[in-house]
Amino acid sequence: MRTLLLISGFVLAIIAFSSCEKKEGVYTPNMKIKTIHEQWSDPYSETDGLSPKILLETWQWDGKLIDKINYTIGEEFISTASFEYDKKRISKIVNDYGEYGMVDELRFIYDGSKLSQVQAWSENYMYTKMTITHDKSHITEILVEYFFDQMQAIKNLPKDIFLKQALKTVFPSQTVNLIVNDKKLIENIEAKSDTYNYTIKLSYNGANIKEEKIIHTDGYEETYTYFYDSERNPYRGLLFTNGEETGEGISKNNIVKIIEENNQGHRSEREFSITYQNHYPVEITYESPSYKYTIFFTYY
């Protein structure tokens, strides 16, 4: 049951780390993630009304650099992401889905110190391209292009898993499950349209993304407004984590509230409570009158 706060996926890294050059593509956090678990409210639980904790991610490191992330749902294997580097900058992420019969990779293209493009490939076909625009040091626009006619291996991958993996390359993890049922994207996949494009526009409040606007080619628009705490974000430097996830990758702090709106009159708000250790989150919880969902972090 992976709702709302799902923080998993393979990592596409962009950086705003504190160095003189501020090269994008370098991720060397002070606190290194070890595992991520989830837990949700379960009315059938005989104890405390909660499900058992389910393992989602196990992170392996090579010194200061992330080496691999294993994605699971408890004991069920989903995929393994392996990272490749060029002088400590992430150059490629290879994602192996095992029994689903799919291996894909993300390729990172840089222009000087900045990331200019990310490409998703499978079986020698490019099926997604993200073209990134900067305004000085800020990423302000991402053009996302899906090439459905090139998705040769997707037929073997359950649609919900593919959508979460693909969407997390461009959205904060807290929004992925809101978008995974997006009628625009679903309709294009089911209709096997050749392409589907949309543009993401980002605005900032200091070191945090304030607003994320998704503009579809038919005029449909979605807007996500983010509010933050003042503590350290363990994902900072990992944009497009399969996020994964824009707000997580760029922003300095952790998201505590999201306002979701579209130009058809929909509006909703979600708030998250966070427990910290050494200024980093160890529990992030979403709770409604009838539902509770928590992500748990451990660190090395």
Asked whether the CA dihedral 79, 84, 90, 93 is positive or negative, the reply is: negative
pLDDT band at 8 (very low <50, low <70, confident <90, very high): very low
Residue 165 forms part of a structural domain: yes
Residue 66 forms part of a structural domain: yes
Determine the pLDDT at residue 193: 61
Determine the pLDDT at residue 18: 26
Determine the pLDDT at residue 1: 31
Q: What's the number of domains the chain is made of?
A: 1
What average pLDDT does this structure show over 207-221? 91
Q: What percent of the chain has pLDDT over 90?
A: 45
Determine the pLDDT at residue 14: 33
Residue 8 forms part of a structural domain: no
Token pair, residue 156, equals 């073997």
Residue ranges with strand state E in the chain: 33-40, 54-62, 65-73, 76-86, 89-96, 103-111, 114-122, 125-135, 138-147, 195-205, 208-216, 221-228, 255-262, 267-277, 280-288, 291-299
Dump pLDDT digits (tens) for 241-296.
444 445 577 899 999 999 999 999 999 999 999 999 999 999 999 998 888 999 99
DSSP string covering 72-124, please?
Answer: EETTEEEEEEEEEEETTEEEEEEEE-GGG--EEEEEEEEETTEEEEEEEEETT
Residue 19 forms part of a structural domain: no
Confidence check: pLDDT of 165 > 60: no
DSSP string covering 28-45, please?
Answer: --SS-EEEEEEEEB-TT-
Determine the pLDDT at residue 184: 57
Give dist(CA 109, CA 122) in Å, integer.
17
Residue 144 forms part of a structural domain: yes
Residue 6 forms part of a structural domain: no
Dump pLDDT digits (tens) for 25-56.
889 999 999 999 999 998 777 768 889 999 99
DSSP 3-state of 155: helix
Find the CATH number of the domain harbouring 255: 2.40.160.150
Q: What percent of the chain has pLDDT over 70?
A: 74
What average pLDDT does this structure show over 52-77? 93
| Cα dist from 170 to 80, 119, 167, 214, whole Å | 19, 12, 6, 10
Residue 3 forms part of a structural domain: no
Structural domain that includes position 113:
33-299
Determine the pLDDT at residue 13: 32
Residue 43 forms part of a structural domain: yes
DSSP 3-state of 255: strand
What average pLDDT does this structure show over 111-126? 88
Q: Is the pTM of this model over 0.85?
A: no
Dump pLDDT digits (tens) for 171-184.
445 445 444 445 55
Determine the pLDDT at residue 149: 64
| Cα dist from 117 to 131, 140, 152, 217, whole Å | 5, 13, 22, 20
Mean pLDDT of the chain: 79
What average pLDDT does this structure show over 64-83? 91
